[in-house]
Amino acid sequence: PMLAALTAYLPAAPVLVGTAYATGAFVSFALMAWDKARARAKAHPRERIAERTLLLWTLATGGLGTWAALAVLRHKSQHASFY
């Protein structure tokens, strides 16, 4: 019974993984966009997102959203740590 219950959920796994990856990419892009807006406003460093946080989020979500933000927003494009 346990194996039958587990195999019943396996067809949904790719959809769940894809949804999680897309959500992570969206949030990653949004974080970069928000930080770019704060940088343009010359905000105090405490009002911006730490580079370490952006890098950890990139590592956790696969980097597609960060890559898109680098390309579209040209944010953090001078930082070697993002390449």
Q: What does the CA dihedral 44, 40, 36, 68 come to, rounded to 10 degrees?
A: -160
Per-residue model confidence (pLDDT) at position 56: 92
Q: How far apart are CA 10 and CA 12, in angstroms?
A: 5
Confidence band of 82 (pLDDT split at 50, 70, 90)? low
In tens, the pLDDT along 14-56 reads 788 888 899 999 999 999 999 989 988 998 988 999 989 999 9
Per-residue model confidence (pLDDT) at position 15: 80
Statement: residue 83 has pLDDT above 60:
no
Query: What average pLDDT score do residues 54-60 get?
Result: 91
Task: Compute CA distances 73 → 3, 16, 70, 80, whole Å.
Answer: 47, 28, 6, 16
Query: What average pLDDT score do residues 49-69 get?
Result: 90
